[in-house]
Structures are given as structure tokens and as C-alpha cells.
Structure 1
Amino acid sequence: MQICKGEIFEIIGKGKLKNLFAPVDNASIVLFRIMFGLIMLWEVTRYFGYNWIERYWVTPYFNFAYTPFNLSPLSENGMYILWYVLGALAIFITIGFLYRISTVLFFLLFTYTFLLEQARYLNHFYLVIIVSFILIFIPAHRSFSIDSKIFKGIKSPYNASWNLWLIRFTVGIPYFFGGIAKINPDWLRGYPLKDWLLGDQNFPVIGQYFTEHWMVMIMSYSGLILDLAVVPVLLFKRSRVIGFIAICLFHLMNVELFEIGIFPWFMIAATSLYFSPNWPRKLIQKIGFKGDETQGTNAFNPNPKYQKVILYGLGIFFAIQVFLPMRHLLIKGNVHWTEEGHKYAWHMKLRSKDGSTEFMVKNKATDELIEVNIGGYLQDWQERKMDGNPQMIWKFAKFLKEEYGRMGVDVEVYAQALASLNGRAYQYIIDPNVDLAAQEKPFFGHAEWILPLEVPLENQR
């Protein structure tokens, strides 16, 4: 099959699934592999530079591990070794050395660190997990890799089209569902962006207008529109450059406004995949660098017997990635208040939530009430994340039940938990008369011990 240079098979337009297995230039996928590895290496160095390994997994007495995994951190030396290994794996991915093994190990180890602590949940950590998972199945080491030099049989300038579209889909999901999530009453009225912008009036050029209602509304609605429109704009050749420039400016603005680590740079690198798949090869040829051979020693020839399995796998993956961001619509209550369905849904920088939580344990044998010193168990950063988060409050109540049980005391656990959403007045978020330790959290659905949001946005503090 003859391929025109830079041609992207229009899968959606032709409506032919077989185009998913047609060959495309693998240059952009290879470049993404390199950028992914470098950004992950940068993230690893940040953990050492900011002493985050000790802060997050060595110092805490208790970690909010994800249910049902309930994993525990390794020893201090073990956690440091783990992050050294992650750094080495990031290098291996970058240079394409033992790529398959490296991607599998990186996915498993990074996911392990993620599952250790809910208080550290960030959407871009979740995105890293998804991307590192799909890289296991994408042969991004066919060119510009040590593996392609050692194992001549894998060398090829092509990858199957589904490899490219899978990454594009994964990158597009945060944009699209981030935009969908912004279609909520608070965001459409400028909250919480209004409160956040008040602290950034030194922002270049436009910062002086951040106190103005019209500027808040422009930024709120432009963010919503950009998130919803950017993927369609990138899919069309004529508008692609404009879309890419717009999204780069958006991410660079976020770098200035918010402390969100690697996420903007990761998304800029990933969004470049919407350009023609051979653009990196053309670029290095224009600057006179030959690089890897344009024709590999091994012709691209996907095995037909695996195509049905791949299609089933892609279908399941797509269904999961669409269901998770929408599942909160099937659960009673405001997702930004109850947190039920909030994770894995790309609700990025959408709500401001403050709270205060006090725990009381009641000795069942004596009816004695004891106020718990939370500071004896949690770090400040953990407590801040727990306040206003019903699931974490519930998990800590379960921990207190077990902790007192180890001392031979059977207790009930009550929480005086107040929270404020987007500047509203404080209200109870959990029924203070419920023994939380005796409650269960539904795997899917609404927990009745979480009280509904009743304070309107007008009643602000």
C-alpha cells in the first residue's frame, strides 16, 4: 500500500474500521515517546528536589489509600529506591531502551504511588497513568530508539493508524470533558474563577482587570468554549495551527495563574500529535539532520488475526473513558459538593472548597465522648484535602475505629464536618448524628450520610 507523505487516513470521514490498521508515519508518535519520557524524568527530579517523597509517604502516620486496594507505602529506603527506578525507566522510555518492559514497569510503579494517597489526587497524575498504560501497547520504539538498533526486526518508519488515534483520543478527552464540566451554574456565573483572579492582579497586561466582572465572565466562557472547540479545530488542517497556538497560550496562562506542575507542558507536547504524523521527520530534514532512516529494514505488516482483539480492546477503553466523566449524572446530588463521581472526570480547577472537620469518638462501654486530635494522625496538607471531602472523612472515621480497636476500645465515630463551596456560607456536609464508622460507602451511587447542598450561591461568606 503506497502512502503519501504526511497523509492521515480520514477514519471518521470514510467510516471504515480497516483504516485503523493502515500504516501512518510514526515520527510524531516517536517524538511523543521522547517528550513523555523527558517530562516524566523532570517530574521525578521534582520529587527529589522538593523532598516530596519524605513529605508524602515517609512522614505521615496515616495515608488515605484508595479503596479497595488499601496499599501501604514501602519503607523510607524503599520509596526512595522506587523513585530512582521511575527516573531510570523514564530515561529508558526516552531513548527507547527495553521499551516494552520499561513502559509496563513505569505504569505499575507510578500507579502504585498514585494509589497510596487520595489527598494527592491530581487529574494529570491520572492522565499519566492512562498514557503510560496505552504506551505499553503502542510500538513507539520502531524508530529513533536503541531497541530499533539492537532488534532490527522491529525497525519501521510506520505504525498502525489506531496507535496515533488512540493517543489523540486520550489527549482529547480531558479537553472535551473539561469543557462539559464547566457547563454548571457556578462556573457560568464566574465562580470560583472570580475569587481566584483576585489574587493574581499582577498578571501581565490583563491582570489589572481581574477585579472587573466582564473580565471574569470573558475568562470563564472563553475557557469553556476553548475546551469544547479545541479538538474539532485541531482535526481540520486549515484551523489546526490557530487551534494549537490558542491552546498553547491557554496552558501558558495557566502556568502563570496556577501551580499545576507538569500538566500544561504535558498537554502542549501531547496536543502536537494532532498535526500531520510526519511533521517531526520533515522538520529534521529541513534543518539538515538525516536522523533515522526513513525506510526501515522491516516493512510494516500488521497481523490480521489480532485486529478483532484490538478493536474489542479499543471499544472497551473508549467506553470506560466516556462513562467515567459522565457517571456523576447518574448519582444524586451536586458532584462538586458530594465528590461522588468527581475523580477521573476531568473536573479541573472547577470548584473552590473550604472546610473544617472535628471528630468525636464515643466509647460504647462507658458512653464517654472524646474529641480526637487530628493533628496527631494527619499532616496539614492531608487535613486540608480531607476537609470538605466526604469520602476522605469517612475513610478517616474507619481508621479511627480500627485505631481505638487496637487499644481494646470499641467506639462510635462522629464527624462535625462543615464545608463551603465556591464562597457559599458554611453548612454541614455530613450528618453529624451518624456513626460514620458503622456506615458503608457505595461503590457506585449516593451515600445517604452525605447531606445535600442547600446554601445558594448568593449567600456568600
Structure 2
Amino acid sequence: MNKWLFKHIDNTGLVLFRVIFGFLITVEAFGAIATGWVRRTLVEPEFTFNFIGFEFLQPLPGTGMYYYFALMGVFGVLVTLGYKYRYSMAAYALMWTCVYLMQKTSYNNHYYLMMLLCWIMVFLPAHRWLSLDAKLNSDIKSPSMPRWVLWFLILQVWIVYTYASVAKWYPDWLDASVPALFMKGKSDYWLIGGLLQENWVHWSIAYVGILFDLLIVPLMLWKRTRVLGFVISIFFHLFNSFVFQIGIFPYMSIAFALFFFSPEILQKRFLPNKTRYTEGEIIVPKHKQLLVGVLSVYFIVQIALPLRHWFFKDDVLWTEEGHRLSWRMMLRSKSGSLSVWVVDKNTGKRVRYPHHTLVSKKQLRAVQSKPDLLWQLAQRIEAKEAAAGRDVEVYMDARVRVNGGAYFALIEPTVDLAAEKWSHFKHHDWILPSPKNYMEREYNKKSSDK
């Protein structure tokens, strides 16, 4: 194991990835300001739907979040340049983690992947070449890194893609109806809008998506198919970038190819003056056991988290329990409608509550179809009423449709959501059965009545 994990190899791929990754997270920070994402997501709303348990993380008041993201952008520039690298990368990682945990309205899997990669990069020797740190301090300059660094990154990427493929193995994706729904909203795209409505395009998206996610890492690992895999990766991710407009994720994914190509090829193309490392030293660190233990626990968690929804009752596509942190990317279309009532505990008077005054339009679209956000909204309403001297119960009538189907009740309208407790580890009974389970339950009920 020592020979395999701790043998030193050339670090060209890692240092190039640091430069590209630093540039991309810089674009993410400044781009979030320029595109209005910060304004819509963190400035305009009265409050944000944070990850439950992180209520203390709320946006800075006024224009504070603009300065927050600008500072993140500065740290991104420093990462790119490799200046005070570990401090800069750690600062960006911490700030991005806070942003990630303070809001769920704009949830993308690449936000989660960015958070993981930021923390991973903090601890990797990505600044020991092609950096200001190495130029200013020759003692840290090195053309090599331990082999475990390379495989740590490859395994992380492999987990992401594999789970993304497996998550698509369900009927609405396999019959191409979900890609068809996605493309319906792209009909006004210049030049390709009409093409995206073709049936064969929907089927291609469905099965190319499954096969790409499942096979791209094996294709890149095998030397004979590496160039083919890279070409396919470029086309696949540029298509996603243009059609779905998902920020830096496609370009970050293309950059993962740096971990698969040989140092000789990378140096020839990008760093012809870099010292080529060929010695292959085996340097076992003093903290070997701790390192191996931490890496093992990390990957156990990464493999286990996407599986947790199988231990919850009902379908994750309906309940959302176990959906996040699971690489369930671009899988379904959900929309809903919501009515909220409050009942004064002292008078028993029931009135409809204007919940839309508490949330932005973007938040409203998200909250209508997600049980955890509905629960959080109920807590917010109860607290707001309590601050005004009223003790109330909160009831919600939420109706949701998945992948363009019929509307069904999502939660039990007779349950006071403000009085319910949230659990991260068990199903919430106030979430009504999914349409499939509802039909089965009604059928069984009618059969027993006979």
C-alpha cells in the first residue's frame, strides 16, 4: 500500500487544475454579482431557506452580500495565482460553504461539488509549482506529489458521475419524457430551438446522459479511449452549458481531464519549461495512519450519502427526503400550488395567510413543491405571528405535479406544520404518499372494502 499510495508522481495535472479551478471560482463569485444572482437570491428576499440546523447563517444586511462575493472573488484570484494559497483557498472554501448552507432556493449539484472541491484543494499541494508561493519560497517548490492525491480526485469525480447516471434509471427518464419537458422551455433558443423539440433529440439526451455519466471515467482511464472520451466530454459539457446555462460546472468538468492525461502530454501542451519528475520516490508521511483513516471515512460518507434515500419511506422524487447531497442532477420537473391558513389558538378563528408577501417569486416557486421548505415557511409564519402577540397554528394545502403529471396533495392539510419537529433521519408522516403509492393504497382500500 505504501508503494502505491505514497509513490511520488509528476504534479503537472494538479497545478494546472489549480489555475483553472481558481479562475472558475473567481468567475463564479464575480459572475454571481454581475448576473443578479446575489441580488435575487440573497439581497431581495426577506429571509433565506437555509439548510435546517443552520438558521444562524443568514445573508448580511443591505448590500453586504455584494462585498462578501467581491471578497470571495479576490480570494479566487489569489488561488489562481497561487499566492498565500492555503489561506486563500481555505477562506474561499469557508465563505462558499456559508453561502451554500444559508440558502436552498437556488440548489444545484455543482454548488455542492464546488464546496467539496474547495475543501479538498485546501489540503492538496497544488501550489508547489506555477505559483507565486513557489516563486517566493523555493523551499516549497516541487515538481511532484504523492499518488494518492491523483486518485483521491479521480475517485471523487467517479462517484459524482456514477450516481448521476444511476439516478436517471427511472421510468420518466427512460421513456425520454423528462428531457422532452426540459426542452419544451428551450423552443425560443436561436438556431437550435426547433431542433431541441425533435423526438430523437429527447431520446438522445436521455440515453447519452446515462451512458456518458456511467462510462466517461472508464473511457478517460483507458489510454486507447482517452482522446475519444475527452472529445465526447467537451461536446457533452458545452451542450449542457449552452442549453441549460448551469454556470461553471461544465467547464470545471472538462478541466477534470487534466487528472487523466499523462504529465508528458500536459507539459508539452501547457508547461514546456516545467521540470519533468521521473524519480518515483516513496515518501511515507509520519501521519500515514491518520491520513488513510480520514480518506477512508471521507469516501465511505461520499458513497453512503447518495444511498440514504432508500432508507426513507416512499419515492425521493416526491418527498425530497435524501435528494440533496446525492448527485441527483437534472432529473425531474416539479411545480405546485400553495394555500396557507392560520388558526388563532385563543379565538379559533381561521384566516387565509398571505404567504406570498414573505417570499420572493423565486422562493415561492421552490417552496410550493418541497416539504422541507414548506415546514420552514410554517415555522417562519408562526414566529412572525408570535412576535405580533398572536399564538397560531399553521396549515398548508400544497398540491404538486411531477414531470408534467396530474396535481396531487403533497402534505396533510389537517396537520399544524408549525408544531411539527424536523428530523434529518426519518420520514415525516405529514408528507402524503406519492401518486404511485397513493393509487396502490386506494386500490388496496377498495379491495378490502369489497
Give the TM-score, by structure 1 length. Answer: 0.90
What is the identity, as a one-letter code, of the residue corresponding to 2:26?
Answer: L
1:242-261 correspondence to structure 2 within 5 Å: 242-261=228-247
Contact 1:404 1:411 in 2 (8 A): yes
Tell me what 1:6 maps to.
Answer: none
Distance 1:300 1:411 in 2: 69
Structure 1 residue 301: Cα displacement: 6.8
Distance 1:213 1:278 in 2: 44
Structure 1 residue 212: Cα displacement: 4.7
What is the identity, as a one-letter code, of the residue corresponding to 1:120?
Answer: S
Structure 1 unpaired stretches of 5+: 1-15
Tell me what 1:10 maps to.
Answer: none
Contact 1:394 1:437 in 2 (8 A): yes
Distance 1:115 1:295, change over 3 A: same
Distance 1:437 1:189 in 2: 40
What is the identity, as a one-letter code, of the residue corresponding to 1:144?
Answer: L
State the Cα deviation string for residues 334-368 of structure 1 (Å, max 9, x = none).
11110000001111110000001111111000111
Contact 2:7 2:281 in 1 (8 A): no
Residues 1:53 and 2:38 are matched in the alignment: yes
Distance 1:211 1:112 in 2: 39
Residues 1:173 and 2:154 are matched in the alignment: no
Distance 1:222 1:17 in 2: 39
Residues 1:391 and 2:372 are matched in the alignment: yes
State the Cα deviation string for residues 197-219 of structure 1 (Å, max 9, x = none).
23445779986554454442232
Residues 1:90 and 2:76 are matched in the alignment: yes
Higher deviation after alignment, 261-270 or 123-132: 261-270
Distance 2:191 2:66 in 1: 43
Distance 1:204 1:276, change over 3 A: farther
> Could you say what secondary structure the match of 1:138 adopts?
coil
Tell me what 1:375 maps to.
Answer: 356
1:4-403 correspondence to structure 2 within 5 Å: 16=1, 18-70=3-55, 71-201=57-187, 208=194, 210-284=196-270, 289-290=272-273, 292-294=274-276, 302-403=283-384
Contact 1:25 1:278 in 2 (8 A): no
> Could you say what secondary structure the match of 2:286 adopts?
helix
Structure 1 residue 300: Cα displacement: 6.8
Residues 1:406 and 2:387 are matched in the alignment: yes
Number of positions where the alignment pairs a residue of Structure 1 with one of Structure 2: 438
Structure 2 unpaired stretches of 5+: 440-450
> Could you say what secondary structure the match of 1:417 adopts?
strand
State the Cα deviation string for residues 171-228 of structure 1 (Å, max 9, x = none).
2222111001001121112131112223445779986554454442232122111111
Distance 1:84 1:406, change over 3 A: same
Distance 1:175 1:124 in 2: 12
Distance 1:198 1:116 in 2: 32
Cα RMSD, aligned residues only: 2.3
Distance 1:382 1:202, change over 3 A: closer
Distance 2:32 2:192 in 1: 33
Residues 1:430 and 2:411 are matched in the alignment: yes
Distance 1:81 1:218 in 2: 43
Contact 2:30 2:69 in 1 (8 A): no
